[in-house]
Amino acid sequence: MANEKIPYKIYLEESEMPKFWYNLRADMKQKPAPLLHPETHKPITAEELSEVFCDELIRQELDESTALIEIPEEIRSFYKMYRPSPLVRAYCLEEKLQTPAKIYYKFEGNNTSGSHKLNSAIAQAYYAKKQGLSGVTTETGAGQWGTALSMACSYFGLDCKVYMVKCSYEQKPFRREVMRTYGASVTPSPSMDTEVGKRILAEHPGTTGSLGCAISEAVEVASNTEGYRYVLGSVLNQVMLHQSIIGLETKTALDKYNITPDIIIGCAGGGSNLGGLIAPFMGAKLRGEADYRIIAVEPASCPSFTRGAYAYDYCDTGKVCPLSKMYTLGSGFIPSATHAGGLRYHGMNSTLSELYHQGLMEGLTVSQTEVFAAAEQFARVEGILPAPESSHAIKVAIDEAMKCKETGEEKTIVFGLTGTGYFDMYAYEKFHNGEMGTYSPTDEEIAESLSKLPDIK
Amino acid sequence: MANEKIPYKIYLEESEMPKFWYNLRADMKQKPAPLLHPETHKPITAEELSEVFCDELIRQELDESTALIEIPEEIRSFYKMYRPSPLVRAYCLEEKLQTPAKIYYKFEGNNTSGSHKLNSAIAQAYYAKKQGLSGVTTETGAGQWGTALSMACSYFGLDCKVYMVKCSYEQKPFRREVMRTYGASVTPSPSMDTEVGKRILAEHPGTTGSLGCAISEAVEVASNTEGYRYVLGSVLNQVMLHQSIIGLETKTALDKYNITPDIIIGCAGGGSNLGGLIAPFMGAKLRGEADYRIIAVEPASCPSFTRGAYAYDYCDTGKVCPLSKMYTLGSGFIPSATHAGGLRYHGMNSTLSELYHQGLMEGLTVSQTEVFAAAEQFARVEGILPAPESSHAIKVAIDEAMKCKETGEEKTIVFGLTGTGYFDMYAYEKFHNGEMGTYSPTDEEIAESLSKLPDIK
């Protein structure tokens, strides 16, 4: 099909959809460092994890050698409801920019959760159901993950308890109602449901909550409730495994038209979308079969790759989850306000951290206002109203395309468009009204936060 | 492909996408009655219409003989950004219902306007641009049409002034911000921009506005502004023409798999989606080539087909637009509150009205609460969170599928899923909290409203 005109949207046939997830760690010579028990600081065992997590998901979390893991038939059926997602050729953006670059984006927003989060949510719900559990707990900040998990649990008839950061709960009532539509119970965090919630409310009666606190509440409820486990939408390697469907579909679609990307760009929060998108490309790079520039884009307000340390740290502020070796700003780091809630995480997935450490990918930071300007420019020509998180990748894709305009190079750029911004219009409003600031931590703030890292070699 | 397994989603190839719109009136022996001038009550001329409307759109409005009208290349390019829309086989809904019926839906919500409205918006913006105009005006109630027009105008570099019913403007700030993202100016109506707005504000200082008033303001501004025209998102035959792309794609996708529908279901407000979906099927029926049950679903609160009169009436409450012969509840009819804002129109497209009058389609009404119950049921198994308007069709599709369960008939049901409900979560919240009522006008209310119809034979 090399000479065929590339369509605006490449959709795979159902028969071309991936039947396996790809576990990138299998192709890494230097594996990511193991998770450590938060108290003993020794590598955590499957048994220890099983108090909180589902058994099959623990197996996936700890599996560093199986490259291809079969996607169960039930999950593939669900995927068919909203996948394959289109790989879009951004003809209109290219024309607007007058660039010789060829720009493609993998669009994950065409489902009710509005993002790629559903790819892992349905897998986690499936394994929980298969284990005979009656429900799962989780936390949600911006709301995408909670929505995705609600949809997945509804499909498999599983209870779903979501602890939603209180300020989000109040500011995003629509997100809350979507979750309720799918039958989830949504509790503002901190709550009186848990010991940790009661303690925090006693100490800080007016608190609007934090993701760290919501995680601690969700973990506590899962531990104390018969037939429940806790599930998480990012950071973990199991999540990156499930999200590899994004990259696998992208690569199949590109291969179908003999397209080889030069640059692959993803926004980076905890790493779920970035890791999923780049997985098969990074795999080819690790095996020496191909080379690509791979760029992780972070918000200037929360620059874990670009300004953090590569060290063991807690995954949550409550310090109840395992320790992970990763690029981190410190588990106590509070990112200054940014509307891309999905990128406000102090750390980074351990596999991606190791790859970054090995110099196999680049990191870039962009500021909030330039991200929204790029989002608006994109929306006006490509039609899609992007999520603030996704727009970080848009910004850098446009920058790279403009460099091609200067040099005349016809580079092929692929970026991940993780979701839509329908529930982020408050942020767009701030931007339209010129009320949006740009934020960046000082060196002193970062150093102060990093000085509290746990002392682990 | 008859024996091939039907995929979850049928996407046409770009090469299979329609190159012509289909003008259903060409196949009607008894044409719809002509539009009349609101003052003279004589058939309105193209010249008279040209003060307010774009020239090419007037030609399309008045053309009753050309069956196929070519879609300009520029519009087809835009369509490729978000079309073809998928025809979805509702496998999960069928299984949930345990019905032998085969259910398909044409999903028009995968674009930022969130509905099918974009199909006509882009055409209207194109013809306005081609005529050398500098901008267009319109009104919006629920906000779908205003959003779609904003996107279309942004694409062609056309100014867009939207008069948004004041209560919507205040209650739906996110819709407003989406329009602003696309560069539209959005003014709450009534406003001090227009004579009609000033008059209404002087008479009713606290008014929250109405669609009728917003239309009058938009028309006044278009008439008084050099290089501007007024555009409308429903009711007119030109809109139904552009929306025929929905039905044409649906029929091509069904034909590809040798599927013949038994029942075709669409929600009915002003008729844009319904008319577009059924166009090629109704055409085959008119030509005697096939037969289908075609069902128009109305809200109980605004039952123009089922309880209205077939008569000439004003299209707007301000009585500045042409008179149309249609099923109507009277231009002064105020539908009791319903959250499906897109279906709150007193009249109906004239072509659909004539077809209904000839007995070629059925009308059904459903109540608001049963619509939301169906919406929630659908969302939980099919993943998509439907718009309240679309959910009227879902309700009847489920009812028909349940009848098949009783009789054992394997009927093929096709319905139009016009859009998503992301901006309607306030209504979902009312439903979840048990605060949603059902409303239906009394016979006396309808008779009173119909007694004021203009006296035209």
Q: How do residues A272-309 score in pLDDT, each as one tens digit?
A: 999 999 999 999 999 999 999 999 999 999 999 999 99
Q: What are phi and psi of B88, to 5 degrees?
A: -105, 135
Q: Which of A91, A177, A376 comes nearest B428 by C-beta?
A: A177
In whole angstroms, give the CA distance from residue B60 to residue B71.
12
Q: How far apart, in Å, are the Cα atoms of A127 and each of A23, A210, B211?
A: 17, 28, 50
| Distance from the B253 Cα atom to the nearest Cα atom in chain A, whole angstroms | 14
Name the nearest CA neighbour of B164 among B439, B367, B423: B423
Distance CA A243, CA A349 (A): 13
| Domain housing A348 | 9-17+71-114+237-450
Nearest CA in chain B to A95: B155
Q: Structure pTM?
A: 0.94
Contact A379 B423 (CB under 8 A): no
The whole-number average pLDDT for the span B139-167 is: 94
User: Which of A174, A179, A430 is the mutation pick for testing B, counting most B CBs within 10 A?
Assistant: A174
* b/e per residue B97-134 (b: at least 16 CB within 10 A): bebebbbbbbbbbbbbbbbbbbbbbbbbbbbbbeeebe
Q: What is the pLDDT of residues A64-74, one digit of tens each?
A: 999 999 999 99
Q: Using alpha carbons, select from A233, A449, A216, A234 the residue that is nearest to residue A350.
A: A234
Q: CA angle B355-B357-B362, nearest 5°?
A: 75
Would B77 be classed as within a structural domain? yes
- Contact state of B181 with A423 under an 8 Å Cβ cutoff: no
Q: Among the listed ranges A156-165, A316-325, B33-42, which one has the minimum average pLDDT value?
A: A316-325
**Long-range pairs for A375-380: beta carbons < 8 A, 24 or more residues apart:** A375/A421, A375/A428, A376/A428, A376/A431, A376/B181, A377/A96, A378/A93, A379/B112, A379/B181, A379/B182, A380/B154, A380/B155, A380/B181, A380/B182, A380/B183
> Are B315 and B233 spatial neighbours (Cβ–Cβ below 8 Å)?
no
DSSP string, A235-287: SSHHHHHHHHHHHHHHHHHHHHTT---SEEEEE-SSSHHHHHHHHHHHHHHHT
Kindly identify which residue of chain A lies nearest to residue B425, measuring between CA atoms: A174
B317 pLDDT above the threshold of 80: no
Which residues in chain A are contacts of B422 at CB distance < 8 A? 114, 174, 178, 422-423
Picking from A92, A182, A380 by the largest number of B CB atoms within 10 A of its own CB, the best residue to mutate is A380
Say if A399 falls within a structural domain. yes
In the DSSP assignment, the letter for residue B29 is S
Helix/strand/coil for A98: coil
Tell whether omega for the bond before A190 is within 30 degrees of 0, i.e. cis. Answer: yes
Residue B115 CA to residue B340 CA, distance in Å, equals 13
Reply yes or no: is the peptide bond before residue A388 cis, omega within 30 of 0: no
Residue A1 pLDDT: 38
**Gyration radius (Cα) of chain A, Å:** 21
Specify if A430 maps to a domain: yes
Say if the Cβ atoms of A379 and B81 lie within 8 Å.
no
Beta bridge partners of B420: B386
Contacts of B80 in chain A (CB under 8 A): 7-9
Q: In this predicted model, what pLDDT tens digit does every residue of B232-285 receive, in sequence order? A: 999 999 999 999 999 999 999 999 999 999 999 999 999 999 999 999 999 999
- Residues A102-127 as b/e (b if ≥16 CB within 10 A, e otherwise) read bbbbbbbbbbbbbbbbbbbbbbbbbb
Q: Please report whether residue B273 resides in a domain.
A: yes
Q: How far apart are CA A235 and CA A275, in angstroms?
A: 10
Count of domains for chain B = 1
Q: Look at residues A215, A416, A201, A202 and name the one whose alpha carbon lies nearest to residue A331.
A: A215
What are the pLDDT digits (tens) for B32-91? Answer: 999 999 999 999 999 999 989 999 999 999 999 999 999 999 999 999 999 999 999 999
Q: What pLDDT, in 10s, does the model give residues A5-54?
A: 899 999 999 999 999 999 999 999 999 999 999 999 999 999 999 989 99
**Interface test with chain B among A110, A150, A256, A420, by most B beta carbons within 10 Å:** A110
Dihedral sign for Cα B108, B111, B117, B120, please: negative
Does A56 fall in a domain? no
Residues in chain B: 457
**What whole-number distance in Å separates Cα of residue A413 and Cα of residue A397?**
7
Task: Please name the residue of chain B whose CA is at the shortest distance from the CA of residue A107.
Answer: B110
pLDDT tens, position by position, A402-411: 999 999 999 9
Phi and psi at residue A392, to the nearest 5°? -60, -40
Mutate one of B12, B82, B426, B433 to test the A interface: name it (highest A CB count within 10 A): B82
Average pLDDT, chain A: 94
Cβ contact (<8 Å) for B178 and A425? Answer: yes
What is the average pLDDT across A415-419? 97
Nearest to A385 among B110, B112, B425 (CB): B112
- Identify from A1, A94, A107, A112 which residue to disrupt to test chain B contact, counting B C-beta atoms within 10 A and taking the largest count: A112
CA A260/CA B137 separation, integer angstroms: 45
pLDDT digits (tens, 9 = 90+) for B110-140: 999 999 999 999 999 999 999 999 999 999 9
pLDDT higher than 90, residue A142:
no
Q: Looking at B111-219, which runs of residues are DSSP E strands?
A: 135-140, 159-165, 185-189
d(CA B333, CA A96): 46
Residue of B nearest to A185 (CA): B432
What is the band of B3 on the pLDDT scale with cuts at 50, 70, 90?
very low
Q: Exposed e or buried b for every residue in B32-41, given b needs 16+ CB within 10 A?
A: bbebbebeee
Separation between Cα atoms, residue B51 and residue B211, nearest integer Å: 21
Q: Report the gap between the CA of B8 and the closest CA in chain A (Å).
A: 6
A52: DSSP letter: T
Residues in chain B within 8 Å Cβ distance of A177 = 425-426, 428-429, 432
**Burial class of residue B430 in the structure, from the number of CB atoms within 10 Å of its CB (0-12 exposed, 13-18 middle, 19+ buried):** middle
Amino acid at A442: T
Mean pLDDT of chain B: 94
| pLDDT at residue B2 in the model | 40
Nearest-by-CA chain A residue for B91: A81
- List, for residues A375-391, the tens digit of each pLDDT value: 999 999 999 999 999 99
Task: Show which residues on chain B lie within 8 Å of chain A, measured between beta carbons.
Answer: 7-9, 11, 13-14, 77, 80-82, 91-92, 110-112, 114, 151, 154-155, 173-174, 177-178, 180-183, 376, 379-385, 420, 422-423, 425-426, 428-429, 432
B11–A14 CB contact, under 8 Å: no
Contact A112 B385 (CB under 8 A): yes
CATH number for the domain spanning A338: value is 3.40.50.1100
In a domain, residue A132? The reply is no
* Closest chain B residue to the Cα of A382, Cα to Cα: B81
Residues of B in contact with A381 (CB under 8 A): 155
Whether residue B197 is contained in a domain is answered as no
State residue A4's pLDDT score. Answer: 59
Task: Give the tens place of pLDDT for each residue, B189-227.
Answer: 999 999 989 998 998 888 888 887 898 899 999 999 999
Q: How far apart are CA A125 and CA A163, in angstroms?
A: 17
* Option in B112, B422, B429 nearest A379 (CB): B112
3-state secondary structure of B412: strand
pLDDT of residue B1: 38
Cα–Cα distance measured from residue A411 to residue B211, given in angstroms and rounded to the nearest whole number: 50
Q: Do A383 and B82 touch (CB under 8 A)?
A: yes
B228, part of any domain: no
Residues of B in contact with A76 (CB under 8 A): none
- Work out the pLDDT band at B4, boundaries 50, 70, 90: low
Q: What is the DSSP letter of B16?
A: G
Chain A with chain B: Cβ pairs closer than 8 A = 112
Interface confidence: ipTM more than 0.95: no
DSSP string, B360-397: SSEEEEE-HHHHHHHHHHHHHHH---B-HHHHHHHHHH
